[in-house]
Structure 1
């Protein structure tokens, strides 16, 4: 099963117009939660959903601007760094979306891994 925990940068399209977003996914087993901040006047939203194999599905609900929930489904790449799928609100509105792991998060993870691999200093007792 893919692990989506971390920060993702993405875009969704509504009537051909792109909207950028930043998502923070928290995954425990196959349960997904987190938050999304749209680069629009819609603001912040909470999400909850599931990850099954390479498939993800979640519902997004804006905190202040809209009571409508938005359903997302997507497929996770083999490298677990890209998601592509569709979103919908009931049957009235729908469109494509995609997201990439944030490079900032990957750099921080790389630095952590490097520091864990540095061997302890050996005392020569001189």
Structure 2
């Protein structure tokens, strides 16, 4: 079974328009949970789903702005660093998505950037 816990950077396409996202996944056995931050006005969402072997499925629910539940299905690469698949809201709204596991510690980078911007206390 794939271990998907960690930070993922990805893109989904809606009507040929790409939207970047960052996902933080937590896996416990076959269960999957986490958060997604889309680079658009919809912003943050929660996710819950499952991983069976190299197959992944989850639902995404935005915290504000959209009542839709988005269903994602896909497959995970053998090295567990890439996944791709399809998302669907209903028969008329669907597209493809992909994500790469991030080896970057984004919180560490943010703290470094902030520390460089803050004046040193005397």
Question: Shared fold by TM > 0.5?
Answer: yes
Q: Give 1:56 shift.
A: 0.2
User: Which residue in 2 is equivalent to 1:99?
Assistant: 99
Is 2:86 aligned against 1:86?
yes
Structure 2 unaligned segments of length 5 or more: list them: 109-122
Q: Give 1:91 shift.
A: 1.2
Count of residue correspondences: 106
- What is the RMSD computed on CA atoms of the aligned residues? 1.1
Structure 1 unaligned segments of length 5 or more: list them: 109-126
Matches for 1:66-81 after TM superposition, within 5 Å: 66-81=66-81
TM-score (norm 1): 0.82
TM-score (norm 2): 0.85
User: Which residue in 1 is equivalent to 2:2?
Assistant: 2
Determine helix, strand or coil for the equivalent of 2:104. Answer: helix
Per-residue Cα deviation, 1:70-113 (whole angstroms, up to 9, x for no partner): 000010000000001000002120000000001204xx9xxxxx
Matches for 1:19-58 after TM superposition, within 5 Å: 19-58=19-58
Runs of 4+, deviation exceeding 6 Å = none
